[in-house]
A and B are shown apart, each in its own frame.
Chain A
Amino acid sequence: MSNCSCIPFKGTKEQQKKLEAAIEKYKDQSGALMPVMQAAQDIYGYLPIEVQKMIASGLNVPLEQVYGISTFYAQFSLSPKGKYAISVCLGTACYVKGSGKIFERLKTVLGIDDGGCTPDGKFSLESCRCIGACGLAPVLTVNEEVYGRLTEDDVDKIIEKYKALD
């Protein structure tokens, strides 16, 4: 069941320093594990075993506990995200307005599944729950950019736009 990524870990010294600082900051607080894992997710973009081991050692908790948490919460990712992370809202309001179709179209166009990443590392795709832009339903985001009131045809245009970018 592991969705452990096969992409080799390329953490830098700098990233490690940041993580160590986060561990240091929260170490003595109760419930330190979640904020530290969130910091690590921000620093590395995902939580591979190398990073989880650093967290487990730093906070003196079992590695399995860290992993159990990382697979419980949807926000934590075990594989790196694409350069352009696409997230389609499947919240009720969007779903009623056809976001399911948008999502299917993206899967076909990109050739990847929910949670997947294209082999070139350019696009990753995931579904999400309400991002609160219900007035714009159906909605998707590419990194921070929000695209709303979508039709299926818009999907192709959006992908083309990012393909054209480096």
Chain B
Amino acid sequence: MADVNIKFNGIPYSVPEGITIIEAARLVGVNIPTLCYLKDINEIGACRICVVEVVGQRNLVASCVYPVSDGMEIITNSERVFNSRKHNLQLILSTHDNRCLACVQNGHCELQKICRDFGVDDVNMFDGEINHYEIDDSAEHMYRDNNKCILCRRCVAACEKVQGVSVIGPNERGFNTHIGCAFDQPLGDVACVGCGQCIVVCPTGAISEKDHTKRVWDAIQDPTKHVIVQTAPAIRATIGEMFDYPIGTNVEGKMVSALRRLGFDKIFDTNFGADATIMEEANEFIERLQNGGTLPMITSCSPGWVKFCEHNYPEMIPNLSSCKSPMQMLGAIIKTWYAEQNNIDPKDIFVVGVMPCTAKKFEIGRPDQSASGYPDVDAVLTTRELGHMISRAGIDFRNLPDEDFDNPLGESSGAGTIFGATGGVMEAALRTAAERITGKQASEVDFMEVRGTEGIKEATYNIGGVELNVCVCSGLANARKVLDAVKNGEKKYHFIEVMACPGGCINGGGQPVQPSAVRNFVDLKSLRAMALYSEDMRKSIRKSHENPAIQKLYTTYLGSPGSSKAHRILHTSYVERDKF
């Protein structure tokens, strides 16, 4: 596309035609603040914070949606612009619960930062009537506090456009407009899947996960409890963001070190659970393939996806793999095998999952997830909550030594690591399934076609003379497209990987919140995924079935993948749920 000549604050630049003022500003080094804008999904020009002057225009224009044109002169730093933004912020504050010190987003809030930048000195300037809303804490994983909502509608865009879930939206109109569910039902009563994508885009503290940190502190301080923490593959690639590391820095060693200093008795790696998942899932897939089972088989690691399927595609429940998620598998293994081996009563074991995910908070309460008779996992912390715990404990994260996971459940393969990115489960499964089917050691372990951050990826592999059509999708709106295509016969796949969050767990709803200024212009998904794929490359063991600890688990305890014992401990069942 051709370039156009424009001026920013009097200085001439040449920028590509057709982009918006805010994008052009970024190119020339000007950051325009915004509260509602999310590239591609929420370009609605509603908050009016990003207004700028365009010479010749009577009114200020919203830079997030206004395209540049040749000869345009843009002014972003005039008194008029500053005043407008300030007034607008003051209007927002007049309906916003301003008790910032008691807010989960204190210090990270986008609204707070912009208020500081624009010198909002009088927060009561436009005080007047406000609507009071009940806090909705009906869902297992999160709460919504409309008193802090500024109606930017990013959450709505995430729910509707990214996830195709559409359980929240604007209700009523004018001053009474508020975000809510149909008939203002509580979130826990509707088809919310718990993905938490709304949380990571909220510019204020209006939406947040339910805090499990107290449960965890209590357990740590309880001398009768053997407290075990496990961290999901994606955490090592993102927890660094909480301590100002560049996005995509793998800080596994420091993370383990911090967990040990927090007082956990054992630190295990969910990657082990991922390896176990592959053992079971690859086996299940081969069995379905060879014995005429229900195909395509669809992965079940992502609890948001599983709940989505139960609500929206109950007829496809038989397609779901019966495997528990890696976190639940590892929890189950801890409370059975590990408990037996170490002579600990499973009732005294408290398993904490550190997850990039909010749906996991829902998952631990699901039925058929208590192999030992006790819940496989007792508490789930998001990456953010772990970050807050580390801060509270006063641990100087950046200066920690690198330490290793505890054994044996801290040992893992590269296959387990890449579970954290979209395509990772598929690739890990293919690495194992290929060898299982052919009975030969495969030299090629990289399945490049299923990597990358695109929402829907397809590939066909010839394994041992069998053509396997696979599909990998992430983001539930994409899952909808794939499932509809399968249902109406347009597509024939053997194996589908679905991750609820776009890009997979590295971009999960439990991950550190990056402000829109970063989110809109940095490819979070790729940078974070890169950390996992480099780790996979570094590992000497890159296939799940080659993990010696996994081999030991099967030889000493479970027998073979798919055995009845494996089924009892590592598999689960699903329920049909209402569409609405």
Contacts and interface: CB of A to CB of B under 8 A. Distances in A.
Interface of A: 1-2, 4, 49, 52-53, 56-57, 62-68, 71-72, 78
A64 B178 contact: no
B176 A68 contact: no
Interface in B173-207: 173, 176, 178, 180-184, 190
A1 B172 contact: yes
B167 A62 contact: yes
A1 B131 contact: yes
A46 B306 CA distance: 35
A68 B170 contact: yes
Nearest to B174: A72
Contacts of A2: 183-184
Contacts of A65: 166, 169
B95 to A, nearest CB: 14
B182 A67 contact: yes
26 contacts: A1-B131, A1-B171, A1-B172, A1-B178, A4-B183, A4-B184, A49-B182, A52-B183, A53-B580, A57-B579, A62-B169, A62-B182, A63-B182, A63-B190, A64-B169, A64-B181, A64-B182, A67-B169, A67-B181, A67-B182, A67-B183, A68-B182, A71-B171, A71-B172, A72-B172, A72-B173
A68 B580 contact: no
B50 interface: no
B13 interface: no
B243 interface: no
Contacts of B133: 1
B171 A68 contact: yes
B167 A64 contact: yes
Contacts of A78: 183
A63 B311 CA distance: 13
B17 interface: no
A38 to B, nearest CB: 18
A53 B579 CA distance: 10
Contacts of A63: 182, 190, 580
A2 B580 CA distance: 18
Contacts of A62: 160, 166-167, 169, 182
B176 to A, nearest CB: 6
B158 to A, nearest CB: 14
Contacts of B330: none
B168 interface: yes
Contacts of A1: 131, 133, 171-172, 176, 178, 180, 184
Nearest to B165: A62
Contacts of B180: 1
B178 A66 contact: no
Contacts of B182: 49, 52, 62-64, 66-68
B169 to A, nearest CB: 4
Most chain A CB within a 10 A radius of its CB, from B166, B167, B171? B171
Nearest to B579: A57
Contact of B166 (A49, A52, A64): A64
A3 to B, nearest CB: 9
B173 A64 contact: no
Most chain A CB within a 10 A radius of its CB, from B160, B166, B173, B182? B182
Given A62-B167, A71-B171, A72-B170, 8 more contacts: A1-B133, A52-B182, A63-B190, A64-B169, A65-B169, A68-B182, A72-B172, A72-B173
Contact of B169 (A49, A56, A57, A68): A68
Contacts of A57: 579
Nearest to B172: A71
Contacts of B190: 63-64
A19 B7 CA distance: 57
B313 to A, nearest CB: 13
A4 B182 CA distance: 11
Nearest to A61: B166
Contacts of B579: 57
Contacts of A52: 182-183
Nearest to B132: A1
A4 B171 CA distance: 13
A72 B174 CA distance: 9
A2 B183 CA distance: 6
User: When A and B form their complex, which 5 residue pairs have the shortest distance between CB atoms, in order from nearest?
Assistant: A62-B166, A67-B182, A2-B184, A63-B182, A63-B580
Interface in B221-247: none
A161 B93 CA distance: 50
A88 to B, nearest CB: 20
Contacts of B172: 1, 71-72
Nearest to A67: B182
A4 B172 CA distance: 12
Nearest to A72: B173
Contacts of B131: 1
B193 to A, nearest CB: 13
Contacts of B168: 64
Contacts of A71: 171-173
Contacts of A53: 580
B147 to A, nearest CB: 12
A71 B173 CA distance: 7
Contacts of B170: 68, 72
A66 to B, nearest CB: 7
A64 B189 CA distance: 13
A4 B133 CA distance: 16
A51 to B, nearest CB: 11
B166 A67 contact: no
Contact of A56 (B171, B184, B580): B580
Contacts of B169: 62, 64-65, 67-68
Contacts of B167: 62, 64
A18 to B, nearest CB: 22
Nearest to A57: B579
Nearest to B164: A62
Given A1-B171, A1-B172, A71-B172, A49 B178 contact: no
A9 to B, nearest CB: 12
Contacts of B580: 53, 56, 63
A71 B182 CA distance: 10
